[in-house]
Chain A
């Protein structure tokens, strides 16, 4: 499992070299294009700040009141059945529903447990490995007027559940408990 750690640490330098290499080979003005793209990053982040404010306040209130602990406590049987740390359960529920709410939750869980704790690594992996199912289905099917989506939601939720369980297993294998 050392291999996975090595891949992780070389991934970013490797991607930089490949992209810059291809860019130069294709005669792209790399720095100008970089700056152009970075502007888009500013716009994206500024655009999500208002929803982050709303959602972080909700998560903050939910945690400070003790309601989050109640939820974690109530879902403990499910969590231990699936082998998921119970602190990660709220994220497992939130991830398919909303991307920015998940972001708020991940930030809250990482702040409370530490980024390099087992829970911190598990929620990081969960956040990176799934998408917001309900939003994507609504927007994509809605755009062409599909009413009957057949088995799409079931298959997407199966994939989501697998990714949650795989996140825990992968973290356990790579980082240990």
Chain B
């Protein structure tokens, strides 16, 4: 999909630029942006290191386990189909905890593990179960403790107060998560009623 989006932006951009008579500006923008991308990467470097370093301490001191324990009761409600001691539950909890802490590298393998455990509980191997749908909805609405990348970009462009958006990020992601959970529960109920009728 990104292949089309990328090509579309470039082709439309150059085309509109020619029609607008802004060929030189467009050419200059293309060349400057390549340099800007590297600058952005370097601008992100410091805060990303700070953050992944700090989160490594959190991981090694077992913070993920603390968060997992706190999440357990909520997860029983969200995933009623998973048996209490099943390894799927453990993988889901750890994945959500890793996402919460912004540990992208740890989150993906745990998420894939959770999917393969959920697949073992699945009776129709090519169709998603309710638990899988719920898990992915939670994953895409992920609540993040500190949006480090955004803070880095704001810092780079001289924000007076780069971290001021932490509170609004929390509000927005909590709303999104609740909406996602309600949507998943309602859609699952509607579909299963439709099947029985």
Contact = CB atoms under 8 A, between A and B. Distances in A.
B is bound to A: yes
Given A8-B166, A54-B6, A166-B171, A106 B57 contact: no
Contacts of A125: 165, 168-169, 172
Contacts of A66: 16-17, 20, 22
A89 interface: no
Interface string B131-157: 011011101111011110110011011
Interface string A102-114: 0110110011001
B103 to A, nearest CB: 9
A167 to B, nearest CB: 4
Interface residues of B, number: 104
Interface in B45-79: 45, 48-63, 66
Is chain A's binding surface mostly helix, strand, loop or mixed? helix
B171 to A, nearest CB: 4
A35 to B, nearest CB: 7
A26 to B, nearest CB: 4
B82 interface: no
A33 B133 contact: no
Interface in B1-60: 1-2, 5-6, 9-10, 12-17, 20, 22, 25-26, 28-30, 32-34, 36-38, 40-41, 44-45, 48-60
Contacts of B2: 97-98, 101
Interface of B: 1-2, 5-6, 9-10, 12-17, 20, 22, 25-26, 28-30, 32-34, 36-38, 40-41, 44-45, 48-63, 66, 104-105, 108, 111-112, 115-116, 118-119, 125-128, 132-133, 135-137, 139-142, 144-147, 149-150, 153-154, 156-173, 175-177, 179-180, 183-184, 187-188, 191
